[in-house]
Structure formats: C-alpha cells, structure tokens
Structure 1
Amino acid sequence: MTLLALVLAGCRSHPNAAGIAAANDTSAKHYPVRGKVVSTDAARGEVTLDSAAIPGFMEAMTMPYRLADRSILSELHPGDSITATLLVSDKGDFLDQIVITAQAKPDYKPSFFYHPLKPGDDVPDFKLLNQSAKTIHLGEFKGKVLLMTFIYTRCPLADFCPRMSRNFAQLDKMLAADPALYKKTHLLSVSFDPDYDTPKVLRSYGEAYTGKYTKENFAHWDFAAPNKKDLAPLLRFFDVGATPEKDRTITHSLSTIVIGPDGKVYKWYPTNDWTPDQIFNDVKQLLGGNKKA
C-alpha cells in the first residue's frame, strides 16, 4: 500500500501550499474516489485517471490530476488502481489520502494485495475484543445478518467514521422498530486502532452513539478491535487501508459489509455514500421480507 497526495489539475499555481490549506479546512467537503491510472506526464507533473462516478459530485470521467509532489510520478504506473478522498473547499479541489490498492507494473509489486470483496465470499472467522473485554468472533453471528463497518474513535472527519456510526445508530433504531428483523440481525463496528481503542474507550464511544449511555447492554451492536497480530489480515480481507500519521490520526479508507446468515458477503459498500435505508432493504431482501422499492 502506498499513500500519495494528488492535486486536481488547474486548481492552483502552488498546489503543495493550497493542498495543505484545503486538508486543514474543516469546512471542506469529502468525496470518496476510486480509479485507475491511465497515463502520467512528467513535464506537467500530472497523472490522468479513469475514475468511477464520485457520488454527489460528478459522473465517471477520465481526466488529468496535478501531483502535489512531482517526485511521486515514479510511483504511479498505467493500470494502477487507487482509492482517494476528494477535498472540495474554497482553497481548491484536491485528491488526498490516496491508497494504491493494486500495482500493474511487474517490477513494482506490493508486499500484499487487498482482497476484492465479492458477493458470495466466505468471511473468515476473525477474532476481536469487544467493549466488554470479551473475545468475540465473526463465526458466532452465523444464522443472523451481520452488518459490519470500520471506524476508529478519534477520527476527526465528520463524513468518515462519525458518519458510519451515525448511520449504524439510525439502522439500529430502524431494526428495533421491527422485532422480527431485530432478532435476526447484529451490528458490529470494528476499530483499526487497537492501541487506543481499548474496551473501555469502545464502551464509552458505543454508549454515546446508541444514545443509551450507561444503560446500553450492547446486545444488538458490538464495538470491537482485533489484536495487533490479526489487524493486517483483517484489513486486507475487508479492503480497508489504514496508515497511522505523525499527528496520531489515521489515514484510512472505508468499508461496510452486509454478511448473510450463511457467513458469506452479500453486499459491500466501499465508500461513505450508502444510506441506512439501503442497508435496511438489504436486510429485508436477505431475510425474505419486503423487496427493495
């Protein structure tokens, strides 16, 4: 996995300074981006990406992006797949937090490849330590629909971990309103920051998001983290990029998964543009309820 910083072509004459300003702008909007490198231009310091549609911003498009650091050009090759975050603010539009998920050039082979989640994939029986300091494992939820997302409790970006937790809180309430569905589902928020996100921290975080605080028993929604040994394989399988930064934040991607009662992947949402209604409809379809409208 390689982290890079890209700047949209033509935004500013001093992309490094403007990029830093935009990254520090709390009012900036964040959009997830996925794409493939088409070509690079060393003279202009640009890379052309064939990107998927950016929900709420623009349709799928092939266009050039200017690099904040031209020396990074040697790291990019036609065919490389990337994920990124598009920052949109009055400082300019920038691609930040870029993760190269697969390199195309044979002499630039990464140490590992992320797992491309597909419907029907068997989910490994990963073990985690939850908010009650109890070891749980994914296999114990077979027979139920497991709704799983990734977070870390110190995440400062409202559209990332906090948004995932707000969405899950809404889902929890929607499911609770239907006792039949509630009984056959379980929510799981997994932290990729086990050093800081201890059971005590996860319990406090979870109590705040469920809104029940000290009355929360976590019977329907667990907050848990793997141990250090299991962290890397778990993130690879669920296609989560997570890199600790010097300021104690973590540069990361997103991953939300609907796992069927058979323990297989049913749906995968790799960005932040899914809604609680979408996943609620996934649950109803899996459990033979009402079809999606």
Structure 2
Amino acid sequence: MKILITTIFIGLLSSQNLLADTIDSQRLAPGYRPLAFKIPQTGSYNLPVIDMAGDGEVLTTNHQVRHLHELMGDKITLLSFIYSTCSDVNGCPLATQVFHKINRRLLKEPELAGKLRLLTLSFNPQHDTPEAMSQYAASFTNDKVDWQFLTTQSEQQLQPILDEYRQAIQKIYDQQGQFTGTFSHILRVYLIDKDKQIRNIYSVAFLHADTLINDVKTLLDEASMHKSNVTGDSNTRLQTSDTRQNYSAKNYQTQSIALTDRQGQQADLLKNINNPPLGLPAVSIPADNPVSAAKIALGRKLFYDRRLSLNNTISCAICHIPEQGFSSNEMATAVGIEGRSVRRNSPTIYNVAYATLLFHDGRENTLEQQVWGPLLADNEMGNPSIGYVIDKIKALSDYQGLFEQSFNTTANMLTVGQALASYQRSLNSADSPFDRWYFGKQADAVNDSVKRGFALFKGKGACSGCHLIEKNFALFTDNQTHNTGIGYRESMQKTPEKQKIQVAPGVFIEVDQQDISAVAAVKASDIGRYEITLDPQDRWKYKTPGLRNIALTAPYMHNGSLSTLSEVIQFYNQGGVSNEILDPVIKPLHLSDTEKSDLLAFLQSLTGSNVEELLADAYVAPVGN
C-alpha cells in the first residue's frame, strides 16, 4: 500500500534569501520551528473524512496533460496552493519549506518515501509555465522522493480546481488597474487518502512537517489495520464499513466487510452508564427500569435482530449502523422495509441516554416508548401491531428464558421497550481530545486550531447558545427544537422536471419527474415540530442534535441535505435560510476562512475515545439469521 502527498502549491519560493530577509521583520509560523508540544502517538487518533478531493486537468513540467485524480489513489495526497513569486514568508514559502523538510525526512526513510508523493501546483499559470515549474523543481527533486511540480494551461482550467477545494484567491492591482503579480490568498494544505478523501486541512497555524508526517503514518496504520480486519485479526483497530465515498466514480470499489468476516470483542457496557466517560454527566435511570447487565445484553440482541421486522430483513442497526456513527453515512434519509423511503435522516444514538426529546420532531420523551415507533412504522420495520412483535419474539427459541432472567416476566410491550432502551442508554461516548483538554486540563490534548475553534464556538459563532456546555460536562444540545430554515427551504423548493439518478458507480441517467411520480409515492411534506403541536410557530422546528462524534455521523440536518461539516459551518455562517419564523439566534456570522477551519478542527476533536470499543462490541452481536 502506498500513500501520495500531493502539494498543490500556489506559489514557489522565489529566492533562498527570502526567508533570511524577512526572518527579523515578520513573526514566523510554527512550521519553521521545532514543535512546541509532544505529538500524539501514531495511530492513537482518528482522521475523519472531511470531503471528497476535487479533480481537474493539470500540466506536468514536460507538458503532459494529467488529471489530479490520476495522481491520487495509489498513495496518500497532500494538496496545497501556492504561486512562485509569493513574498509572504508565512504564505507560499511556508508550504515550500515544510515540504522541503518532508523531502529530507523521506531521504532517511526510504520505506516511507515509497509510499508518499509530493505534488506542487501553481495557481499562477500565466507566469508559472511548465518550464518555470521545471526550473523551480530542480533544487528540490531527486530520484529517491516522488515530488512532482504542476501547473495548468490557463486560469480558466485552474478555476474549477480552486472551486472544488474552496480555495479563494484574488489578484492584487495597482492604482492604475495593472496586475501587480501578487495574489491575496489563505494558505491551505489538504491531506488526501487512497480513496481520494480529504482527511485533514492544514492552515498556517498548524502546518508543520512533524505533524504532517505523523498524520501520514496514522493513515498508513489505518489502512494496514483495515486489511488486518478483513483477514480476521481481532487485535487490530476496527474500521468502518463502506460509506460509499466516491461512489459516483466509475472506478469505485467497495470496502465493505462481510458480516461473517467482522471481528469484535464484547465490552462492559454497564460501565458506560454507571461511570460515564469524561465530559458526560451521570445518567438518569428511570425508576421503573433499573439498569442491569442482563437487560443491556438482551436489548443489544433485540437491536441487531433482523427478525424483528415483518419480513426478517430490517433491524434497528440497519439504519443506526455502528460503524457509521450509529447513523447512516450512505444516504440522506433512511430506507426501511422493502426499500420504502423514510422522510428523515437517521440520527445517531450515541449519548441518547441524555435526550429528553426523541425523533427529529421531539414527539417522544423516553427511550422505552420511542422504540415502538420504528417497530410499527410501515416504512421502517413494518410490523402490523405490538402483539405481532411480542408473539414473534416469544416463538423464537433463542429468546427463551432471557426476558424472565432480566425482568422476571415474559416478553411484553413494556419489557421489550425497557430492554432496547437499556442497550441504547449504554452507548455513551466521550473522553474526546476536547474533553481531555477542557475538562481534563491536559494542555497538549488538542492543537491551537481546536482551541481557537472552541473560542469561536462560544463567542463569535454563538454555537453554544443551542449546543450547551456546562461547567463540568457538555451534552452540546439544549434538548429543544429550532427553525434554522432547512425545513423551510425544502418545503419551498420546486421539484425539477428532470432528476439525475445514479444507477451504478459512475453511471447516471436523467429521468422525467412524471415517470418518477408514476411509480413513487407522493412525498409527504415535512413541517417539523408543528406536526406534533399544531402550533404555527413550531413550523420547521427540529431538535438540536448533540455534537459528540459529529465527524462520524454525516450527512447532517434532519433531511441529510448537508454532506459535510464544512457545508454545515457555511450554512450557519450565512445565517441559515431566511423565513418569517426563523429562530432569532440564527444570524450571519461573518467568519473568515481561517475561522471556519478552526471551527471545523474543534468539531473534529469531539470524537470519543471509546468509539472503537462500542463498535467492537456491536460486531459480536448476532444479527438474527
């Protein structure tokens, strides 16, 4: 397995003397100095998928026409944008300096060098021709490290690439309106894995050769462990199943792990209730459903049992997939029995023990009651009645004696709900890097970008107004409902006359809406909390989700309409979608690109340390063959 580092530099160091000339006049970025903190052990942290890497046509130094995606896939990719005449020492020259340090490291680590590729792309094709890039590359390249330098044929061919990576640049003009040869831009470097997925975005504040190499090795460890999982090595870190990332490409290949090949290990789930991880408060246990290990085990068995659906195909875990954050990364809204569409996105059930409102519209208030909604919904598990479910469980030989052991009575409406609630109440996940820094007082648990992002979260971003943080714990939700404009926008959208439908990897067809309507049920309108209260002020209100493990639970919002956390940040930055009853807390934030990156880094720091333990436990559960 190899990794590719693609560096799309938008600017090249014009002179080796530049750094010396500016070192005294400008405060240098951390990337020039030794790290001020101890980096975490390789493989001890996760790099969640942020987005798919963009593609575009580029030119090599020998005038070959290539596509960026051709230079990805066999190795991991780092993309950064620079231009050769940049004079900002903390801009393009910083990217060059960091990758030059990596180059030197690779010369000492030939095994790693064979798994990395460095690519440098200029965003000034008018000046940085293939010949210019070749001259610049001469002082950096060698036959031991794969470092390629790229440009484009024109600004028109470059612009779609910049758009794909949300990399804004602006030409600077003098008073006479003449281009000065200088660009205004924010330095970014993109770490991309073999599946052409962006796994990290580095800005000036934390672009450093050491952290970058560490992240690359972490991705190598991840890939190695994924391979071990497929071959049945239960001692390795468990990976997620196929999220269908890059499913739109013709060269898509599934990474699913067959149910029979998945290896797991049973966990002590009771401890997550009796002693919640750092950052969570005590769990409130209903007086009529005291917790026990036997109840949790029975609830887990029910949760993964496909026989609890009408036709023995759908379990709770089909929509709340453990390896996808106990949500579903593969589709915007859930699909139930016989492929019937569900209106809303599958919410994660991590930390659902603390929820006082359940479902996106808040129509239930206890887990014991909530479980019956999906069991009886005709587009979810499809059972015709409560009695039908109870009789079916009683007839299954592997449930004999389990309810009596847990409840001193047989299966009934109450005990089925209590068992499922007990398991869900144990899925508490915290002790994230953020928790270890903020509640555990470990100064080096997160980097400076995360700390700045948290300050934005509480301050300028005003996120903590709804995603609450208390003195000794944080649920990151107010357990209330709000109108952000997402539901309003969906209600007001006109259905297009034609829709683009994907029928296979990389294969799309356009279908007339009238043909779709002829075979599909009419899509029900979704007015949110109003459907429960019938109060007009509750139109398009939906429950505030908790943010723990948010990096694992894409897509986002009640309808799954936002695919990435970056899109979520941009949605709130623009002030939601205006409507007459928009929640007054939703306002434009005016965040800069750097602030957006910092806020994203904070959200990515909320992944709990016990996620893989809970995933391993889920892999042990029988699925009801």
TM-score, length of structure 1 as denominator length: 0.55
2:57 aligns with 127
2:25 aligns with 27
Instruction: State the Cα deviation string for residues 20-39 of structure 1 (Å, max 9, x = none).
Output: xxxx9x8243779xxxxxxx
Give the letter aligned to residue 182 of structure 2. Answer: T
Q: Which has the higher contact order (CA 8 A, sep 6+)?
A: 1
Distance 1:135 1:218, change over 3 A: farther
1:87 aligns with none
Partner SS for 1:158: coil
Distance across 2 between alignment mates of 1:129 and 1:196: 14
1:190 counterpart = 2:131: no
Distance across 2 between alignment mates of 1:205 and 1:192: 15
Distance across 1 between alignment mates of 2:106 and 2:138: 18
Q: CA deviation at 1:201?
A: 0.7
2:89 aligns with 158
Higher helix share: 2
Residue 151 of structure 2 is aligned with which of 215, 225, 228? Answer: 225
1:287 aligns with 220
Partner SS for 2:190: strand
Give the letter aligned to residue 55 of structure 2. Answer: D
1:268 aligns with 201
The question of whether the paired residues in 2 share the 8 Å contact of 1:132 and 1:199 is answered with yes
1:179 counterpart = 2:177: no
1:234 aligns with 161
Distance across 2 between alignment mates of 1:267 and 1:165: 18
| RMSD of aligned alpha carbons | 3.2
The question of whether the paired residues in 2 share the 8 Å contact of 1:159 and 1:272 is answered with no
Distance across 2 between alignment mates of 1:218 and 1:255: 26
Distance 1:193 1:288, change over 3 A: same
Instruction: State the Cα deviation string for residues 185-212 of structure 1 (Å, max 9, x = none).
Output: 111111110110001111111223x1x5
2:345 aligns with none
Residue 201 of structure 1 is aligned with which of 109, 132, 144? Answer: 132
1:169 aligns with 100
Q: CA deviation at 1:272?
A: 4.8
1:257 aligns with 190
Partner SS for 1:243: strand
Distance across 1 between alignment mates of 2:146 and 2:132: 18
2:243 aligns with none
Distance across 1 between alignment mates of 2:100 and 2:26: 24
Distance across 2 between alignment mates of 1:173 and 1:217: 13
TM-score, length of structure 2 as denominator length: 0.27
Higher strand share: 1
Give the letter aligned to residue 91 of structure 2. Answer: F
Partner SS for 2:120: strand
Structure 2 unaligned residues grouped into runs of 5+: 1-21, 31-35, 37-47, 174-179, 225-236, 238-444, 446-625
The question of whether the paired residues in 1 share the 8 Å contact of 2:28 and 2:89 is answered with no
Q: CA deviation at 1:268?
A: 0.8
Q: CA deviation at 1:271?
A: 2.9
The question of whether the paired residues in 1 share the 8 Å contact of 2:58 and 2:151 is answered with yes
Distance across 1 between alignment mates of 2:79 and 2:138: 17
Structure 1 unaligned residues grouped into runs of 5+: 1-23, 33-55, 57-117
The question of whether the paired residues in 2 share the 8 Å contact of 1:254 and 1:272 is answered with no
> Mean Cα displacement is larger for which, 176-185 or 256-265?
176-185
Give the letter aligned to residue 235 of structure 1. Answer: L
1:147 aligns with 78
Distance across 2 between alignment mates of 1:204 and 1:130: 12
| Equivalent pairs, count | 181
Distance across 2 between alignment mates of 1:29 and 1:239: 27
Partner SS for 1:184: coil
> Mean Cα displacement is larger for which, 177-186 or 275-284?
177-186
The question of whether the paired residues in 1 share the 8 Å contact of 2:103 and 2:145 is answered with no
1:243 aligns with 170
Instruction: State the Cα deviation string for residues 73-98 of structure 1 (Å, max 9, x = none).
Output: xxxxxxxxxxxxxxxxxxxxxxxxxx
Instruction: State the Cα deviation string for residues 88-109 of structure 1 (Å, max 9, x = none).
Output: xxxxxxxxxxxxxxxxxxxxxx
Distance across 2 between alignment mates of 1:218 and 1:198: 25
Partner SS for 2:166: coil
Partner SS for 1:249: strand
Distance 1:160 1:262, change over 3 A: same
The question of whether the paired residues in 2 share the 8 Å contact of 1:238 and 1:255 is answered with no
